[in-house]
A and B are shown apart, each in its own frame.
Chain A
Amino acid sequence: GAVVSQHPSRVICKSGTSVKIECRSLDFQATTMFWYRQFPKQSLMLMATSNEGSKATYEQGVEKDKFLINHASLTLSTLTVTSAHPEDSSFYICSASPGTGYEQYFGPGTRLTVT
């Protein structure tokens, strides 16, 4: 149980375009979903927290207009990287929690490359 999927697993896009990443909890309802990014050989950095039906809470330094998060249902959250630039290239990982966040189950990640 507690499976979280992400789609796509890998995406390459041109600078200036937007990219949407989906995160789904497959066998449980996720009250809370989290988005992280991870640079090579570095740890995961929390970008934002989203609760179903409400606006996401962004961490300090994360541009909410650039990283749009929608938690449309209890099993789906999306992250849209708008007007992507090469510095946005990273590994984006979502996690989902059936509660308030003590148990988080991670997706397999999405590798974004912006050329």
Chain B
Amino acid sequence: QKEVEQDPGPLSVPEGAIVSLNCTYSNSAFQYFMWYRQYSRKGPELLMYTYSSGNKEDGRFTAQVDKSSKYISLFIRDSQPSDSATYLCAMIDDYKLSFGAGTTVTVRA
């Protein structure tokens, strides 16, 4: 069993829709939870990170963490074609990042 599970998709939504992404994990030692965006043939770009359970909002992005269920989510409101990318969840145990497989999202104009 992988430490971090993420549905690779692909996920296709119309412009303006809400994109919902999630990951589950098995390692209770994970402390920080991140979401990265990766465009094709580029390095990942940090979108958001959070430490505790609850919600964190940044513009059109909302990250949720539920440590009791070992479940994290990312919501993108009012999605735009420029949001089309692969979204990776990642978690830290000590200093080591463990990534999910990434979900490929396409926002149709």
Contacts and interface: CB of A to CB of B under 8 A. Distances in A.
A43 B95 contact: no
B8 A41 contact: yes
B43 A43 contact: no
A103 B48 CA distance: 11
A107 B95 contact: no
B102 A109 contact: no
Contacts of B32: 102
Interface in B41-56: 41-46, 49
B97 A42 contact: no
B107 interface: no
The bracket for how many chain A residues form the interface is 20 to 34
Interface string A74-115: 000000000000000001010101001111111111010000
B60 interface: no
B96 A49 contact: yes
Contacts of B43: 4, 6, 93, 95, 106-109
Contacts of B100: 43
Contacts of B35: none
A111 B97 contact: no
A97 B32 CA distance: 15
B72 interface: no
A32 B94 CA distance: 13
A13 interface: no
Contact of B97 (A6, A34, A41): A34
Contacts of B94: 101
A62 interface: no
19 contacts: A6-B43, A34-B97, A43-B99, A44-B44, A44-B88, A49-B95, A49-B96, A95-B43, A95-B97, A100-B95, A101-B92, A101-B94, A101-B96, A103-B46, A103-B49, A104-B97, A105-B46, A106-B44, A106-B46
Rank and list the top 5 A-B pairs by shortest CB-CB distance, nearest first: A101-B95, A106-B43, A43-B99, A108-B43, A43-B101
Interface of A: 4, 6, 32, 34, 41-44, 46, 49, 91, 93, 95, 97, 100-109, 111
